[in-house]
Amino acid sequence: MRALLTAALLLLASPALAIVGGQPAGGALTGQAALIVSTRGASCTGVVLARDVLLTAAHCVQPAADYAAVVFEAAGPRLLKATRVVLHPRFDPNSFETRRPTPDLALIKLGEPLPDRFGPADLSADPALPPQRSQFLIAGFGVIRDGDGKSAGTLRTVSLPSIGTTGGIMVRLSNGEAAGGCTGDSGGPVLADGVVVGIIGWSTASGGKRGCGGVTGATLVGPQRAWIDATARAMGASVQ
């Protein structure tokens, strides 16, 4: 637990920002996403399905480690440790390198519920692929530039259009400028009209290079709702 607390405190060591080219999140969204930290020192974002169940990216919780959600309170960060992690059975951690997309999704069961200010997000059940140029809002607790770990820790958002889909399970987002997901935003929501339609999984810099602010990729949740619903029920939660 001490290692988890250290990871959370490091995120508070300097003014916190997130999402390349983004703005601070507001409204209901601030209670529908949570920061996830691990004993490996990494951080990700999770979507609230129930106050004790989070949906995130599988690659965030695939390595052997302890994980926890961070609740920021006046007295300092409080950790809600994960008691169970379930990865999508078709997730392949090598899928990005092989360019064969697989569902980058996982559910986390917390040992105690998030505070009352958190509540479940609405999840899309539509299996259809979004048309190109559809507009989405992405959110995450990640860094504002690649390698700037101290800039993580605050939920921020940016609006991006879709530029296509991949493998029938993933949407790619970019506005052609320096904007999008970055380290720590993985697991964050991709929303259309307030409904979560995808989970952030990866990003590139301009020209497809390693980094951030180029293209953001996300697993669509609609085609995976049967697995999400069944796994959430096994954790004692129902999905909206």
- For residue 195, pLDDT over 80 is answered with yes
Q: What is the pLDDT of residue 14?
A: 33
Q: What is the pLDDT of residue 152?
A: 64
Greater model confidence, 98 or 73: 73
pLDDT band at 239 (very low <50, low <70, confident <90, very high): confident
pLDDT band at 151 (very low <50, low <70, confident <90, very high): low
Q: Indicate the DSSP class of residue 134.
A: -
Collapsing DSSP to helix, strand or coil, 202 comes out as strand
Q: What is the pLDDT of residue 41?
A: 87
- For residue 229, pLDDT over 50 is answered with yes
Q: What is the pLDDT of residue 10?
A: 44
Please give the model's pTM, rounded to 2 decimal places: 0.89
**Predicted confidence (pLDDT) per residue in 65-93, tens digit:** 999 999 988 888 999 999 999 999 999 98
Three-state secondary structure string covering the chain? CHHHHHHHHHHCCCCCCCCECCEECCHHHHHCEEEEEECCCCEEEEEEEECCEEEECHHHHCCCCCEEEEEEECCEEEEEEEEEEEECCCCCCCHHHHCCCCCCCEEEEECCCCCCCCCCCCECCCCCCCCCCCEEEEEECCCCCCCCHHHCCCCEEEEEEEEEEECCCEEEECCCCCCECCCCCCCCEEEECCEEEEEEEEEECHHHCCCCCCEEEEEECHHHHHHHHHHHHHCCCCCC
Q: CA dist 216 to 1, 59, 237, Å?
A: 32, 15, 29
Greater model confidence, 74 or 120: 120
6-20, 63-77, 173-187, 216-230, range with greatest mean pLDDT: 216-230
Domains of the chain plus CATH, in order, are 2-15+31-120+224-234 (2.40.10.10), 135-222 (2.40.10.10)
Average pLDDT, the chain: 87
Average pLDDT over residues 175-202: 92
**Predicted confidence (pLDDT) per residue in 161-180, tens digit:** 999 999 999 999 999 888 88
Tracing tokens 């392949």 back to the chain, one arrives at 92
- For residue 49, pLDDT over 50 is answered with yes
Q: What is the pLDDT of residue 25?
A: 85
Q: Report which of 76, 67, 73 is spatially closest to residue 40, judged by C-alpha positions.
A: 67
Query: Could you give the percent of the chain with pLDDT greater than 90?
Result: 64
Average pLDDT over residues 182-197: 94
C-alpha of 6 from chain center = 21
